[in-house]
Structure 1
Amino acid sequence: MKYDILIKNCSVLTANYEIDENCYVAVKDNQISQIDEVDNLSTDIEAKETINGKGKLLMPGLVDAHTHTCQQLLRGRTMDEYPMVWTRILVPFESRLDEEAVSTSASLSCLEMIKNGTTSFADSGGLHMHKAAEAAIESGMRAAITKSVMDMGNFIPDTMLGSPEVIIEEIESLYKDYHGTDDRINIWFALRQVMTSSPELISKVSEKAEQYKTGLHAHLAEHRDEVSFCLQKYQKRPAEVFDEYGALGPNLLTAHNVVLSEEEIDLLHERDVKIVHCPRNNFGNHGFPKTPRMLQTGLSIGLGSDGAAGSSLSLFDEMRVFRSGIHAFWGLPIFDPKVLSAKELLEMATIGGARALQMENEIGEISVGKKADFILVDIDQPHISPTHNLINTIVEGVNGTDVEDVVINGKVIMKNREVLTLDEERIRHESTRALNRMAEKAGI
């Protein structure tokens, strides 16, 4: 039997979130074809490329289920700023982005994600999103990409606004040009948030997402101002407004979900909405979500970085921060050390994100028949090994820089920390120039 890729002598994080040691994993075309103990490796097995997995853990590629690739050039700009950062910094910056800046920003974003073990992402959109799609294609990553959608808001510049008809036409054009590219790129519809979406826009965009059988990406219940706006304008809370106009459903990915009422949590569960938390952004700006309650209802939860403006794109960091914050806020007051377990966190960063991207049948776990989207983590290091419990240590000890190799869709994208699909030196050089140019252009 001849395979495309053979990883030998590795440990494997199984679909049950257990560790199997001394394994081999074989890849044929773009799928995981075989997983077994090394002792059972047949002598007649050949591979185009063999990777030595000794001292490494093979685990699912992480899924960043909410990010902004167009904000990569804002790194370090939003910390220690007074609210509202979005209206004072992010909107002026995004509204002035040109195609060159978006292309550079998205390429740098993909580079950082790959080097931190992220293999798939959902981008909630911005301007010139065809450039983000092209960057994802070049990088080899898997992505669900959309265009930022807004048709109202006194502080939103005209460059970021559009009528429902124009917005839908633009997303349909993006869909026609890029959806299904190389089996990795999906184009979604979007609603930026309820405060910048008219009832007509919510209804029409939701209908189009259903018509195209694709996903719908939105920010929801991010902060108290959003709740106040909805109560004053609609006499309903944000999730209830989305539900009234047809947005809540199994294809909806909602980011943040911090200020949800008990009734909204039940409603989201009833509609099978996919929840995504952005821990570092939420804790730093909005508060602590009711994650233990959401898990009790059976809601699917994924993790997102929310872009690089306020932090890095490392989901390993997001897991670690999320565990500490939720434990301190919800666990310590009631003496519950397992209010959010290591296994649940790993699920959020992998299969939870896969569900958010509507791809749980294809990615998110290591099993035969799934797409070959996985990473190899160097665990033979003093901050990881030896350990009494490697699952716990993945959450508490592993960093994105411990990722040695990345395979996406059956292709080796990073080997020995070298990204093979992107010119890192060129991207970093162009990004430095673009960061300074865009900061001056946006007046930030």
Structure 2
Amino acid sequence: MENKVYTADLMIKNCSILTPEFEVKSGQCVVIKDKNILDIGDETILSKNYKTKETLNGNGKLVMPGLIDAHTHICQQLLRGRITDEYPMIWTRIMVPFESNLQEKDVFTSAQLSCLEMIESGTTAFIDAGGRHMHKVAEAVIESGLRGVLTCSTMDSGKDIPDTMKSSIEENLCVNKQLFNDFHGAGDGRLDVWFSLRSIITCTPGLIQKVFEMARDCSTGVQTHMNEYPNEVSYCLENFQMRPYEFLESLGVLDQNFLGAHSILLSENEMEIIKKYNSKIVHCPISNAGKGFTKTPGLLQKGIGIGLGTDGAAHSGLSLFDQMKVFKSLMRAFWGVPIFDPVVMPSKNILEMATLGGAKSMLQEHQLGTLEAGKKADMILINIDQPHIQPTHQLVNTLIESVNSNDVTDTIVNGKLLMKNREVLTLDEEKIKYESKRAMKDLSIRAKI
């Protein structure tokens, strides 16, 4: 009796895959239908069971979950190369003039350029820290085919913040709620809208409480920058006699839907608070290296969910492969060497942060972060048949040590090919690069930076 043949949209044949246990299996086949992974299994079996509209040859390629940038600044793409090697205060001398002079067209161009870089570097989803004119970011992300979490920049205080960048509590909530109403669930379900605090220093307790209250009403998340700088911790100690996470706990706002970006300068009590509320955190290795060393090994031992972020192109570019390499070295040097622990941060753990950890940060681990039937078809293909990758005793180690963004050949999100054989299919690369150069020049003159 002949086997029944089922129909699907896309099949990746004769590939290797990264399993949910972070092991590599060869001779596999991945079948995609609509937005989801329909089946994964032995090539010789599945290739006979399914008839698909399109087939990708996976020979010499590894299929793995798309990387998730859990903290980035889409609106700061046009600051690339400007803040490195600058003396303080970068925020007041460069960042504030830049951001306060952003126009809608600048934000749209910056967002397009960000999406282009993410698609080409293997990032399939991201969480943006919030900025101005975020409706233009939403439009660009929908066009690109990527998956993202967006929010607005929310500030109502701060001595170094110009009045043009601050709004009342009501205005802040109104803008963020409008973004939520217009774009939450847009792009075939690829966009989520959260609520945001720019930082505790720039938000009054009243605004903080209202932001969390509205996020709960909308059943969505809240993110902010946390414990990134000493002056932030000092501010909380001086004004509230508590550290940042202790202060948020005292307001009764912390829960499992909160994401604290950076979270570098943590006390033991704050680590316990994060664990208690099942809140999530994100480390940005290259950006954080100039501020301190994260307590990642201890956080992982407590079972706290950790994602990896780039902190945007102004700090380091948008390659999570670069972040993983640097993170491995930082953790080994700071935590491993003093106690002679060469495996203080295994490659598997780092890879998990960039995939499943990011999915947890997005509150979407049930549908993202691993290759499993039923989950969203968000994945990348890597050309592993190259002299800097093969042969290898352990491919998972080599993914961290040697693979780079240019090794990504294909990018798939929601079951749709966004890049095929290094050609981006959803965006006009040449046009975006041309418009970005012009936008950077005009904005630099306008902002006097």
Same fold (TM over 0.5): yes
Cα-Cα RMSD: 0.8
Residues in 2 aligned to 1:87 and 1:289: alpha-carbon distance in whole angstroms: 26
Residues 366-411 of structure 1: per-residue CA shift (max 9 Å, x gap): 0000000000000000110000000100011110110000000010
Deviations 1:97-121 (A, max 9, x none): 0000000000000000110000000
Q: 1:96 offset after TM fit, Å?
A: 1.0
Note the residue ranges of structure 2 that are not aligned, 5 or more in a row.
Answer: 1-5
Structure 1 unaligned blocks of 5 or more: none
**% identical aligned pairs:** 55
Structure 1 counterpart of 2:132: 127
2:373 counterpart of 1:374: no
Q: 1:205 aligns with which of 192, 206, 211?
A: 211
- The aligned counterpart of 1:344 is 349
Structure-1 residue corresponding to 2:251? 245
- Superposed, 1:256-275 pairs within 5 Å as 256-275=262-281
1-structure distance, mates of 2:345, 2:49: 45
Q: Distance in 1 between matches of 2:252 and 2:80?
A: 36
- Distance between the aligned counterparts of 2:287 and 2:157, measured in 1? 25
Tell me, in whole angstroms, the C-alpha distance in 2 between the residues paired with 1:91 and 1:169.
Answer: 23
Aligned AA (1:198)? T
* Alpha-carbon distance between aligned partners in 2 of 1:214 and 1:194, rounded to the nearest angstrom: 20
Corresponding residue of 1:188 = 194
Separation (CA, whole Å) in 2 of partners of 1:329 and 1:168: 41
SS at match of 1:43: helix
| Aligned counterpart, 1:283 | 289
Partner of 1:24: 29
1:206–1:246 CA contact under 8 A, matched in 2? no
- Picking from 412, 416, 429, the partner of 1:407 is 412
Pick from 332, 337, 358 the counterpart of residue 337 of structure 2: 332
Partner SS state of residue 72, structure 1: helix
Cα shift readout 1:130-159 (whole Å, capped 9, x = no counterpart): 000111000000000000101100111222
Query: 1:247–1:82: structure 2 CA closer, same or farther, 3 Å change rule?
Result: farther
Q: Is the 1:216–1:252 Cα contact (8 Å) retained in structure 2?
A: yes
Residue 244 of structure 1: how far off its partner (Å): 1.8
Determine if the alignment matches structure 1 residue 56 to structure 2 residue 38. no
Selected match of 1:157 from 134, 158, 162: 162
Deviations 1:172-207 (A, max 9, x none): 111111110111001110011111110001100011
Distance 1:321 1:264 in 2: 26
Q: TM-score, normalised by structure 2?
A: 0.98
Higher mean C-alpha displacement, 103-112 vs 163-172: 163-172
Query: Could you say what secondary structure the match of 2:44 adopts?
Result: helix
Partner of 2:70: 65
* TM-score normalised over the length of structure 1: 0.99
1:397 to 387, 395, 402: 402
Alpha-carbon distance in structure 2 between the residues aligned to 1:162 and 1:243: 25
Question: For the structure 1 residues 42 and 320, does the alpha-carbon distance in structure 2 shift closer, same or farther, using more than 3 Å as the test?
Answer: closer
CA distance in 2, matches of 1:56, 1:42: 17
Q: Which amino acid aligns with 1:298?
A: G
Question: How many Å apart are 1:242 and its aligned residue?
Answer: 1.6
Separation in 1, partners of 2:60, 2:91: 44
- Are 1:292 and 2:275 an aligned pair? no
In structure 2, distance between residues paired with 1:51 and 1:89: 46
Provide closer, same or farther for how the CA distance between residues 14 and 172 of structure 1 changes in structure 2, counting only shifts above 3 A: same
Indicate if the aligned counterparts of 1:194 and 1:242 stay in contact, CA closer than 8 A: no
Match of 1:144 in 2: 149
Measured against aligned partners, the alpha-carbon deviations of 1:316-362 in whole angstroms (never above 9, x if no partner) come to: 10011001001100101100011111010011000000010111001
Contact preservation (8 Å) 1:224, 1:259: yes
Q: Count the aligned residue pairs.
A: 443
1:162 is paired with a residue of what secondary structure? coil
Are 1:30 and 1:409, in contact at CA under 8 Å, matched by a contact in 2? yes
- Measured after TM superposition, the shift of residue 42 of structure 1 is 4.5
Aligned to 1:109: 114
> What SS is found at the alignment partner of 1:371?
coil
Distance 1:424 1:416 in 2: 15
Q: Deviations over 1:223-261 (max 9, x none)?
A: 111111111111110111122223321111111011010
Tell me which amino acid in the other structure corresponds to 2:378.
D
Distance 2:345 2:245 in 1: 24
